Amino acid sequence: MKKTICIAFVVMCILFIIGIVLIFSAPSAGENAGIRAIQNHGGGMDTNHFVRIIESTTKSYQTGGLVISLVGGFGLILNGYFLIKLKTN
């Protein structure tokens, strides 16, 4: 039982870290999506469309990172609680 909780603890740590990385890398991902969109349109496009692509990609990465980090963080709290509970028993 303790081994399973330890494995889950490590998985939740990894999920939390992945979520944080996604949140902080979102602006560069949005910028890269905007640059690729300009290249796909032959080097020019409407500024509003360009900004919308950057903002939507950035928000998507931030939302995904938020969900993943929340799941990981909540899992860490629960696993930590169960590990402490196992040690006291």
Q: In this predicted model, what pLDDT tens digit does every residue of 51-62 receive, in sequence order?
A: 999 999 999 999
Beta-carbon contacts of 80 under 8 Å, excluding residues fewer than 6 positions away, are 9
**CA atoms of 59 and 38, how far apart (whole Å):** 19
pLDDT, tens digit, 9 for 90 and up, residues 26-73: 999 999 999 999 999 888 888 999 999 999 999 999 999 999 999 999
Tell me the whole-structure pTM to 2 decimals.
0.83
Domain count, the chain: 1
pLDDT in the model for residue 5: 82
Would residue 42 be called left, alpha or beta, if left means φ above 0 and alpha means ψ between -120 and 50 degrees? Answer: left
Question: What DSSP element (H or E) covers 1?
Answer: none
Return the half-sphere exposure (C-beta side, CA atoms, 13 A cut-off) of residue 27: 1
Range of the structural domain that residue 14 is part of? 2-88
